[in-house]
Structure 1
Amino acid sequence: MLVIGLMSGTSYDAVDAAAAELLLENGTLTLRPLGMVSTPYDDGLRGALTAALPPAAVPLETVCRLDTGIGRAFAAAAVRADRELCDRRAELVASHGQTVFHWVADGRVRGTLQLGQPAWIAEATGLPVVADFRARDVAAGGQGAPLVSLVDLLWLRGRPGRPVALNIGGIANLTAPDGTAFDTGPGCALLDAAAREFSGGRLAYDADGTLAARGRPDPVLLERLLGEPYYALPAPKTTGKELFHAGYLAAAGLLDGHRPEDVLATLTELTARTVADAVRAVGATEVIGSGGGLRNPVLTGALRRLLAGVPVRASDEWGLPGAAKEAYAFAVLGFLTAHGLPGTDPRATGARRAAVLGSLTPGRHGFRLPPAGARGPERLVVAGPAGRP
C-alpha cells in the first residue's frame, strides 16, 4: 500500500509529507521510503497559530479559521506528495494534524486537540484520510503520546544492546526497547521562544545554535530550570507548549537582565541535560536520533559531551531519514488503522489496552477495507536506499 504521512510538530514551521510503500507479511512490516516534501506554513497562518497557542485565550472563530487553514495546508502538502513522490498512485493519507493543546491535569492526560480538518485533504486528493490519532489512546487511559513509540519498538526489535530512539522537536521524546516511552521535556520549544522574544519576533529559532554558541550557560539559571517538577515525574508522561512557552521563560526570570546569548546557551544545556538524564535512566547503549534538534550542532555537541561513551547517531544511518521520521511513523500508523490493527503499545503510553487509532474520512470513492484477520507486525524493516524510489 502506498501511504502518505503528514506531520507538523510542536515547532509548527512546516507540513512534512512523506510517502512510503508498506507491506505486511508474516509478521514483518516492510517500509520503503519514497521521499519527503516539506511545505512551510505561510506567514499569515503561522502568525495566527503562534498567537493562538497557550497561554493565549482565543475565540471559537479563531479555532475554526485555524482548523480550516491548517487543513488546507495539509491538503496542499498531500497533493504535492502524491504528484511528486507517488506518481498519483497513493492509496491512503495519514494526517497527524497540528497539536494546539494537550490537556494534562494531575499527571493524567484528559484530552488532546489537533487541528487540520481532514475533509480538506480528502477533497483535494480524492483519497481516504486517517486522522485524529491521539484521542483514541487518551480515551483508553493513555497519554496519547509519544505515538511514534510503537514504530520505534518495532524498528528497534532485535538490535544489539539497548538502543533507544530519540526525537528532538519542539518537545523531546524517547523510546526504549522494553516499551518505556515518554517526553523528556523541552527540545527546541524554549530555545525557539527565547529567540523570538529576544529578536522581537524577527527570528523563529536559533539557526545552527549561532546565538547559543556565543554565550555561556548560567549555572544559577540552569539549576532553577532543572527544578521543574515535570522532570521528576515517572513514565509514561507527556508535556507540550502548554507548559514550555515564552511565559515560562518570563516566570523563570530569563527574559530580563541577562545576555540573550547566555540565555540561549543555558536553554541549550537544559535540553541536553534533561535528554541525557533520561537516556542514562533507561540504560541506553546507543541513541538513534531524529528531529530538527539534531540539526543544531551546539545542542548535539552538548548531548554528546554529556553522554560520553554512549554513541549518538542519526536515524539516517539506519535507513530512516531523520527529517521525515515522524511523517513516516504516521504513515505506518495510518496503514495499521486501515488494516484494523492497533497503533499503540500500552507500555509506552500507559493505556489500558492497545487501540486501533484515528478517525476515517472517506475518499472520493469511499474506502475499501482490507480483508479481516491480518496479524499485527512483530518488527519493522526499512528497505531500499533512504529517500529514493
Structure 2
Amino acid sequence: MIVLGLSSGTSADGIDVAAADLRLEGDLIRLAPLGHRTTPYSPGLRQAIRNALPPAATTMEAVCRIDTGVGQEFAEAARRAHEDFTGGRAALVASHGQTLFHWAEGSRIHGTLQLGQPAWIAEATGLPVVSDLRAADVAAGGQGAPLAALLDALLLSGRAEPAAALNLGGIANVTVVRDGSPPQAFDTGPANALMDAAVRRVTGGRADVDSGGALARSGTPDADLLEHLLAEPYYRLAPPKSTGLELFGPAHLDAALQKIRVPSDADLLSTLAELTAVTVADALRPFAVAEVVASGGGVHNPVLMERLAARLRPTRLLTSESLGLDGDAKEAYLFALLGFLTWHGLAGSVPTCTGARRAPVAGRLTPGTGPLRLPAPVTTAPRRLRVEAPGS
C-alpha cells in the first residue's frame, strides 16, 4: 500500500511530504521510501501561524483561517507528491497538520490541537485521509507524544545493545529501546526552538536559523545564562512527558534574558546549543545507551552535533541515514506509517512511551471522492521495521 505522509513541526517552516510503499508481512513492516520534499508555507500563512502560537493571544477567526489555509497548502503538497512520487498510485494520505497548542500542566496533558482541515486534502487528491493522530492517545490518558516512538521502536528493535533515537526538531524527543524491556520515549526539552527564537531576536526577524551554526561557533557558552536555563523544572520531571512552544518558546528566552545579563549574540547562540546538548545527554544518561541515532533539522547544525557528541561520549552519535532513512523525511514517513496502521486497525502509539492506559488506533478518517472501504483488521501487531529500496 502506498501512503503519503504530511507533517509540519513546531518551527512552522513548511510542509514535509513523503511517499512510502508499506507492506506488512507477519510482524515485519517493510518500508520503501518513494520520495520526499519540503514545501515552504506561503509567507502570509506562515506569519499567521507564528502570530497565533503561544504565548500570543488569538481569535476564533484566526484559528478558522489557519485551519483552512494549512488544509489547502497541505492539499496542494499532497496532490503534487501523489503525481510526482507515486504516479497516481497512492491509496491513502496521513496528515499530522500543524500543532497550534499542546495543553500541558506539569506532566499531565489535557488536550492537543493540530490544524489543517483534511477535507481539502481529500478533495485535491481523491484519497481518504487519516488526520488528528494524537487525540486518541490523549483521551486514553497519554501525552499524545512522542508519536515517533512507534517508528523508532520498530526500527531499533533486535539490537544487542541499548540504543536511542533522537529527533532534533523545534523540541527534542528521544526513544530508548532495550532488548527485553518496553521502549520508553519523551520530550527532553528544546532542540531548535530557542536557538531559532534567538536568531530572530538578534537579527530583528531577518533570519530564522543560524545557518551552518556559524554564529554559535564564534561564541562561548555563558555559564550564568546556562545555569539559569537549566533550572527549569521540566527537565526534572520523570517520563513520560511532553512539551512544546507553550513552555520553550520566545517568551521563555525573553524571561531568562530579563534576569541574566544579556550575552553577545554569538555567546547567546553558543549557550543555547549547549543547553540542548546538556539536556539531551542528561536525559539519556540513566539508560546507558550505546548509540544515539539522530534525525531532524538539528542534525544540519554542526555545532549542535559536535556539542551533542561531546556530551554523549562514549555513546556513539549517528544519523538516521545510517539506517537508510532520510533524517529530514523521518517525521513524514512516521505519519505515513501511522496512517497505514490505522487503515489496518492497528494501534498508533506505544503506551510505555506516551503514558496512555492502552494503545488506541490513531486518528479519524475523511473519505476521498469514492466510497470508504476499509480492509479487515490485521490481528498480528508489527514488531520490526525494515527500510528497503523500492521494488526490493
TM-score by length of 1: 0.97
Instruction: Tell me which residue corresponds to 2:189.
Output: 185
Task: Indicate how the Cα distance of structure 1 residues 263 and 373 shifts in structure 2: closer, same or farther if over 3 A, else same.
Answer: closer
1:280 deviates by 1.7
Q: Measure, in 2, the Cα distance between the counterparts of 1:300 and 1:338.
A: 37
Root mean square deviation, CA, Å: 1.3
- The residue matched to 1:83 in structure 2 has which SS? helix
Distance 1:257 1:356 in 2: 48
**Retained in 2: the 8 A contact 1:339–1:374?**
no
Aligned match for 1:309, one of 295, 314, 318: 314
State the alpha-carbon separation in 1 of the partners of residues 191 and 249 from structure 2: 12
AA of the residue aligned to 2:374: L
Q: C-alpha distance in 2, partners of 1:248/1:106?
A: 16
Q: Give 1:363's match in structure 2, choosing from 343, 368, 372.
A: 368
2-structure distance, mates of 1:31, 1:373 = 17
Aligned to 1:253, the other structure's residue is in SS state helix
Distance 1:137 1:167 in 2: 20
DSSP 3-state at the match of 1:243:
helix
Contact 2:346-2:377 within 8 A present in 1 as well? no
Shift of residue 375, structure 1, vs aligned partner: 1.7
Distance apart, 1:215 and its partner CA: 1.0
Q: Identify the match of residue 351 of structure 1 among 328, 336, 356.
A: 356
| SS across alignment from 1:323 | coil
Out of 250, 261, 268, the position equivalent to 1:263 is 268
**SS at structure 2 position matched to 1:74:** helix
1:56 aligns with 2:60: no
For residue 181 of structure 1, report the CA deviation from its aligned partner: 0.3
Amino acid paired to 1:300: M
> 1:144-195: per-residue Cα shift (whole Å, max 9, x none)?
0000101111111102211111100000000011311000000100001111
- The correspondence of residues 132-143 of structure 1 with structure 2, limited to 5 A, is 132-143=132-143
Q: How does 1:146-295 map to 2 (within 5 A)?
A: 146-177=146-177, 178-253=182-257, 257-295=262-300
2:365 alignment partner AA: L
Rounded Cα–Cα distance in structure 1 between residues aligned with 2:106 and 2:249: 20
Give 4+ residue runs of structure 1 displaced > 3 Å after superposition. 254-257
Q: How many Å separate the matches in 2 of 1:44 and 1:234?
A: 39
Offset at 1:302?
Answer: 0.5
Sequence identity percentage: 57
Residue 22 (structure 1) shift: 0.4
> Aligned residue pairs: how many?
387
Q: Secondary structure at the match of 2:337?
A: helix
- Partner Cα distance (2:287, 2:131) in 1: 31
- Kindly provide the amino acid, as one letter, of the partner of residue 195 in structure 2: L
1:77 equivalenced with 2:77 (yes/no): yes
Question: Contact (CA 8 Å) 2:346, 2:378: kept in 1 or not?
Answer: no
Aligned-partner Cα distance in 1 for 2:262–2:164: 39
Q: Distance in 1 between matches of 2:160 and 2:371?
A: 44
| SS of structure 1 residue aligned to 2:183 | coil
| Contact preservation (8 Å) 2:219, 2:266 | yes
Shift of residue 332, structure 1, vs aligned partner:
0.5
Cα deviation for residue 308 of structure 1 reads: 1.7
Consecutive unaligned residues of structure 2, counting only runs of 5 or more, are none
Give yes or no for contact 1:342–1:354 (8 Å, CA) kept in 2: yes
Q: State the partner residue of 1:66.
A: 66
Q: CA contact under 8 A between 1:128 and 1:366: conserved in structure 2? A: no
Give the equivalent residue in structure 1 for 2:101. Answer: 101
Q: Separation in 2 of the partners of 1:104 and 1:372?
A: 33
Secondary structure of 2:248's counterpart equals coil
Check if 1:19 corresponds to 2:19. Answer: yes
Q: 2:140 is aligned with what amino acid?
A: A
1: CA distance, partners of 2:37 / 2:116: 18
